[in-house]
Structure 1
């Protein structure tokens, strides 16, 4: 091989090495940025969980509430070295809270905060793993390609237990719609997992994220009946019903808020706005008198509906707990 060829080969090798070094250094830089961003997201998720935990502590009995509040504040204030122990203590304490005794909106906030912690921790763990794997390569260590960037660390905290059989919080808004003859509109439907069990229920459905109850009630009424009402025209909430139920194989911790409205003159019920699931599970609708509700052997929700309807004119402005 000629001297020129040797020189060219050497130059090519050096160029390739230089390209690899630059590419590796750039990749390391991106990985460190990714790790920093993942830590910021995890830190924010943990902080939000602590805030929700303090809110929960305010409605618990004094001893348990004080203990939860102290642990939440300790988790917020802990330095990085003590963070794992503090967060794990908070996780353990939250697992002992009886969530059936909490307001459904607070349960939903807590479940959401815990889910965000799980997701953020896994994202952060993946980022730390990838960064450490590259930093531990011999050429990277020998040539100090990581520069002065500190080596990232895992946050070894226990994840809240999120299982499929945990009841899912479901706030909903419903409308007790009466016609000119004081008959109430009810739909007839069934659970797709138990087609042989049917029941009658009022118009309404789940509250969407960021939606207030009154707006949700008017939206559900429009979608299910074609009747458009101004949310401010609804009376209530008149009743509140807390119920644990299953639908399509999933268990829900439901909190139903009922509003009252009158059928506007000239309107008829139009169910063309049903979703595919509603079309599959709702088979009929009809107007019921109070007498018919008292005499029927069919299942009606709320179960007290026949006794509740006559009390509507005397509503005192406060939501009433019903079954």
Structure 2
């Protein structure tokens, strides 16, 4: 049996079409799987942020005294929000947000105000990251070819989480709102350079953090990161050697008598081990900084278990991700961290 040239050409075109469609379907199915994983992880992060807010609200309720009307109501609403199932979670969280809006923060201690502001900032950024993940997943899942070929499998469609956003609690007066560029500086052994510091108003309490600081007017994030590295360590790095930003963290905290809201974006860079110096520090930074230390993930956990805070809080678990970002070709996707 022989085939004509036309038949062979048609069969080749059909085979090529099947191969192309198969490759596209395989790639799309894998991408969908990654998007679903991202949606699931973003929901877990949002759920954790909401749970933390509930814990802070119960502390506020206790400080107001559960015998007071405000204290009782806040405690009940926090419990309801934390125990609500997914279908009723939005309504429960919105009820709690409404109660917080009406709360007179002048009756609260400054530390509790800062804790509440930080908790709400984490909810804000976690919700936005979750809804971004849901949007990207739905955009691909709802395409006709994807639906026709059932590439999404039996996975349930992710859903948006809509609650009222408040950038800061009612009555909260922030002294400074800033964007910061921070850098996870890693040596050839995978250790990160940390700085130990303290609040000049609370010299007995120290904490650890990565290199970095506020972005100046007209300055890009990357340029700010390079400048901060030089000012805080004396090392000069090329802007292109930085990878990122990898992570985004929003924190509200008291420092030197002021309440600051900082949106921090993290880069990473590889360098040889070196001895930093503080030649570029301001007078305030000179009083704030105690020491530098190159740390492994295990050593950071020892510091945390000893009672000193390390920022970001999950840094020991993030070091592998930062190391991988330095060797991967594709740009990292910015995600929220604590």
1:88 has 2:80 as partner: no
Residues 108, 169 of structure 1: 8 Å contact kept:
no
Cα separation, 1, equivalents of 2:104 and 2:279:
39
1:167 to 165, 170, 173: 173
TM-score normalised over the length of structure 1: 0.54
Alpha-carbon RMSD: 3.4
1:143 has 2:135 as partner: no
User: Cα–Cα, structure 1 residues 72 and 9, in superposed 2: closer, same or farther, change >3 Å?
Assistant: same
Cα separation, 2, equivalents of 1:96 and 1:65:
12
Cα separation, 1, equivalents of 2:144 and 2:280:
62
1:70 to 73, 76, 94: 76
Q: How does 1:1-323 map to 2 (within 5 A)?
A: 2-60=6-64, 62-162=68-168, 166-168=172-174, 207=199, 213-216=203-206, 252-253=258-259, 275-276=281-282, 278=284
Higher Cα radius of gyration: 1
TM-score normalised over the length of structure 2: 0.52
Give SS of 2:64's match: coil
Equivalent position of 1:297 in the other structure: none
Structure 2 residue runs of 5 or longer lacking an equivalent are: 177-196, 208-255, 261-277, 286-338
Residues 58, 74 of structure 2: 8 Å contact kept:
yes
Cα separation, 1, equivalents of 2:60 and 2:91:
21
Cα separation, 1, equivalents of 2:48 and 2:202:
26
Residues 167, 252 of structure 1: 8 Å contact kept:
no
User: Cα–Cα, structure 1 residues 274 and 133, in superposed 2: closer, same or farther, change >3 Å?
Assistant: closer
User: Cα–Cα, structure 1 residues 97 and 277, in superposed 2: closer, same or farther, change >3 Å?
Assistant: farther
CA-CA distance at 1:134 after TM superposition = 0.6
